[in-house]
Structure 1
Amino acid sequence: MPLHHEARTLLDMMEAIGAPPLDSQPPAEARATRKALAADPTEQCHEIVEIDAGGVPARLYRAAPTGTTPGLLVYIHGGGWVIGDLDSHDNVCRSLTNRSGSTVLSVDYRLAPEHPFPAGLDDCRAATQWAYKHADELGIDPTRIAIGGDSAGANIAAVVCHETTVPLRFQLLVYPVVDVRMNTESYDENGEGYFLTKSSMQWFTEHYLSGGEGTPDDPRVSPLLASDEVLAAGPPALVITAGFDPLRDEGIAYADRLSSLGVVVSHVHFSGQIHAFYSLPDQLGDARLAHALSAQALIAALGS
């Protein structure tokens, strides 16, 4: 399938803006570049509250009250472990809570290179455990907790599934980074010209691993390399991939491996889309569809 015309238009607009490549900038400048391109949210939620999730900053999104105790999605934003924050994925969290009825906890984990691996992972694991232990305070059902994220956030979400003692019911993995060895065909096919580049992924990974505590072969960095036993113990999953994404093949491989080990997996492939499309529901019809699919999967896993 060719590149979707909406994605082509978006790429042309980005080229016209002329923002420098992320990997040509120091991390602080790259974060500022990303912030400057962010659009204001277009949806309202019943309630949005800044909270301290056991020492980790976070933002809680509540859907309109229904008279029942909702489930919780712990959401971990993407950005290559280097950029992104609560605001960069505010529109995604608003959309998911409104469409699923679940409460969403967005985690403001520490970023590399100032805080390299495993700092961000530690924060997200701690926030998830805190939410489980403080379910009454949050007004959520501790037996109905899911975790999810996009890109590097999905990487962390997958690893938390492997390591946490929280009884997670579901994992939402949107074009996940699961193998940072970067040796797939989709890196060769899509490594230039489709927003996320191979050189940017190398830049992200180098910053993330700059503390010397992890390697590309570490399953905590590349969760596709986890053992069969670890992967088989994970919760049901929805894996979303994009055809013009360097991460396409590893996401497909992760979904296939989970399925082969008996994990209940739905894999939805947007063959005409680029990396980061999920974050752009106001611009891309496929993003709105992906949000609707995500919400329905959360309803099925957690209840509305």
Structure 2
Amino acid sequence: MPIHPRAQALLELIESLGDPPIETSTPEAVRALRNSRIRPPTVSLDEIRDVDAGGVPARLYRPSAEQGLGLLVYLHGGGWVLGSLDTHDNLARSLADESGCAVLSVAYRLAPEQPFPSGLEDAFTAARWAHANARALGCDPGRLAIGGDSAGANLAAVVTQSGSPPFRFQLLVYPVTDARGGSASHEAYKEGYWLTEAAMDWFVDHYLAGGDGSIDDPRVSPLLASDEALAVSPPTLVITAELDPLRDEGEAYAARLRSLGVPAEVTRYDGMIHGFFSFGEFLDDGRRAVAQAATALAEALAAPAPALQTSTS
């Protein structure tokens, strides 16, 4: 279907800012530009504080003072090059507020200064730290989930394939699962919908700038992982945007999970573009997608019902 009118208006607003194409800029320049446009928070929570997640900077969001909360380890998007705790602050607040679960947002190292596998190593470290220290955070180590958007979802998928720590749920929002590109959606939406083919090449080139890994490496392209690795994934929600180059690879990832017996739901938001999940201020479907993700998270991490006590009198 055609682009949603509100998504079109958002694209026109972005175009009016006159930013140069990302592939013609430096990471430092793009970060500075995006940081200058961070919108102030709109959601208040019981507790928000920065923590050291095993040497990885992170920020904890708690929606209530209740102990034993479910915990989502969240990895922000930005092509492994952009993004921070601050760029995704509003999103983390919304997920915590609407799900009733705590969120641990992770500031993994960024390329090209710290190329692959640095960010992935930080994702593993933070996830394992969250599991080991959940009770100290007021959370239940048995109610742990992981998720992310775009490149962050890529990292989340790779972490879950290790099977450790044990996750009960995985949230993948328009994930990068095949860095080779080449899908029908890559070709159909390679220009004109914010995330372009040239921008994706720029992101991948920076991520792999250290010479380790490759686009064929399952740690870079988790869709290429073995059946054995994929089969240990937890129940998964994949959210995609119709007019997104990454659409097909995200949906293909869910299809592979289902083929291996992993419960995996896919929701495609028609008329939407890459990034819509973070643009709830402008897009109704962005708000709806966050609400869907929060509901799925809450259901997946719901505390088990107390055991019935029986009498032997």
TM-score bracket for the superposition, by shorter chain length? over 0.9
Residues 125, 164 of structure 1: 8 Å contact kept = no
Given the alignment of the two structures, is residue 21 of structure 1 paired with residue 43 of structure 2, yes or no? no
Cα deviation, 1:226-261, whole Å, max 9, x if unaligned, reads: 011111111000000001101011011111111111
| Structure possessing the higher radius of gyration over alpha carbons | 2
The amino acid that maps onto 1:6 is R
Q: Does 2:179 correspond to 1:180?
A: yes
Counterpart in the other structure of 1:64:
64
Question: Which residue type is aligned with residue 156 of structure 1?
Answer: L
Q: Which runs of 5+ in 2 are unaligned?
A: 304-313
Counterpart CA distance in 2 for 1:191 and 1:219 is: 23
Instruction: Give the equivalent residue in structure 1 for 2:198.
Output: 199
Q: Report the counterpart of residue 43 of structure 2 in structure 1.
A: 43
Secondary structure of 1:79's match?
A: coil
Scaled by the length of structure 1, the TM-score of the pair is: 0.98
Match of 1:190 in 2: 189
In structure 2, what is the Cα distance between the partners aligned to 1:192 and 1:272?
15
**Residue deviations 1:107-126 (CA, integer Å, cap 9, x gap):** 00000000000000000100
> Which sections of structure 1, spanning at least 5 residues, go unmatched?
none
- Which piece of structure 1 moves more, 270-279 or 16-25? 16-25
Report the secondary structure of 2:74's partner residue: strand
Task: Name the SS for the 1:144 alignment partner.
Answer: strand
SS of 2:95's equivalent in the other structure is helix
Partner of 2:214: 215
Displacement, 1:44? 1.1
Say which SS state the counterpart of residue 220 (structure 1) adopts.
Answer: coil
The CA distance in 1 between the partners of 2:96 and 2:184, in whole Å, is 35
For the residue of structure 1 that corresponds to 2:141, the secondary structure is coil
Q: TM-score, normalised by structure 2?
A: 0.95
Secondary structure of the structure 2 residue equivalent to 1:143? strand
Q: RMSD of the TM alignment (CA)?
A: 0.9
Counterpart of 2:308?
none
The residue number in structure 1 matching 2:12 is: 12
Partner residue in 2 for 1:153: 152
Q: Give me the whole-angstrom Cα distance separating, in 2, the residues matched to 1:144 and 1:167.
A: 9
Deviations 1:167-192 (A, max 9, x none): 11110000000000011111111111
Distance 2:300 2:254 in 1: 17
Q: CA deviation at 1:164?
A: 4.8
Q: Distance in 2 between matches of 1:59 and 1:49?
A: 6
Distance 1:201 1:178 in 2: 13
Question: 1:68: Cα distance to partner?
Answer: 4.3
1:33 to partner: Cα distance: 1.6
Taking the aligned partners of 1:166 and 1:251, their CA distance within structure 2 comes to 23
In the alignment, residue 259 of structure 2 is paired with which amino acid? Answer: S
